[in-house]
Amino acid sequence: MKQYRVKPKTKIKLSEWDPNDTGDFKGGKEEGLAQVEKLNSKLEELQELLFAEHRHKMLIILQAMDTGGKDGAIRRVFDGVNPAGVRVASFKAPTPEELDHDYLWRVHKQVPGNGEIVIFNRSHYEDVLIVRVHDIVPRAVWKERYDQINEFERILAENGTTILKFYLHIDKDEQKKRLQARLEDPTKHWKFHIADLEERKRWPDYMQAYEDMLNKTSTDNSPWHIVPANRKWFRDLVIASVLVETLEELKMKYPEPQENLDEVVII
């Protein structure tokens, strides 16, 4: 899955990344789903180990266009994982209190503690995406935020946080299909917003903003992965594979018992 990682100081063009790609995986959807299930079981074990060892912490950042699949990826990749050690933080429009502080203030409060996995469903990157596309702050302000975000994530990494960032890459035709599916299914009407159609008109502006985000903020200690996400099963396969591989590289161990248990008899 390293082919989906954005190397630091390289310049990518999103138009050259195929959202329908399935990489070297030729098994098709059925085999892909079976592999995701296996990875999920492994992820359950590793998350339990992370929680028990209480030494490491992991931050997962998901960004995507509307209908990109952030919620679905969270449901499927983390299906069955112990909720005691996994938490999802979603970032909506800032509250008046949050607007009284710098844009990273509300984000820093949500980062993981030891033994915890935290998933950001959207994140501080909205402050170089929607803020930029809608001219909410001047260009001179959001341009400085790339370096500020890199520094913020460097501090987290140097204090023991493993950071993984995933951009779920769909194309405009796929978004149309998913929006249409929401419109036709009454049980999904709650997910359909007219405002999404206005955002869709800004697709080229968002693609440029995402491209700059990926080029300017993928670092050695905080890498971006461009996940082909038109096929949901492959999206989940990429994310789960990267998570499991990264957690395995931490070489975690269960802590030793506080007392000698060899002579304990339960009556």
Task: Reply yes or no on whether the pLDDT at 87 is more than 80.
Answer: yes
Average pLDDT over residues 71-81: 94
Taking all residues of the chain, what is their mean pLDDT, rounded to a whole number?
95
Q: What is the structure's pLDDT at 264?
A: 81
Task: Reply yes or no on whether the pLDDT at 258 is more than 80.
Answer: no
Q: What is the structure's pLDDT at 161?
A: 98
Percentage of the chain with pLDDT > 90? Answer: 88
Task: Reply yes or no on whether the pLDDT at 81 is more than 80.
Answer: yes
Q: What is the structure's pLDDT at 256?
A: 86
Average pLDDT over residues 183-192: 94
Q: What is the structure's pLDDT at 163?
A: 98
Q: What is the structure's pLDDT at 93?
A: 87
Per-residue pLDDT band at 267 (split at 50, 70, 90): confident
Q: What is the pLDDT of residues 7-36, one digit of tens each?
A: 998 899 999 999 999 988 877 899 999 999
More confident residue, 263 or 146: 146
Q: What is the structure's pLDDT at 80?
A: 87
Q: What is the structure's pLDDT at 1?
A: 85
Alpha-carbon distance of 183 to 164, in angstroms, equals 33
Tokens coding 99: 């607007």
Stated pTM of the model = 0.95
Q: What is the pLDDT of residues 212-230, one digit of tens each?
A: 999 999 999 999 999 999 9
Per-residue pLDDT band at 259 (split at 50, 70, 90): confident
Domain spanning 2-248: which superfamily? P-loop containing nucleotide triphosphate hydrolases (3.40.50.300)
Q: What is the structure's pLDDT at 25?
A: 82
Q: What is the structure's pLDDT at 125?
A: 97
Task: Reply yes or no on whether the pLDDT at 263 is more than 90.
Answer: no
Domain-wise residue ranges, the chain: 2-248
Task: Reply yes or no on whether the pLDDT at 260 is more than 90.
Answer: no
Average pLDDT over residues 141-170: 98
Per-residue pLDDT band at 50 (split at 50, 70, 90): very high
Per-residue pLDDT band at 88 (split at 50, 70, 90): very high
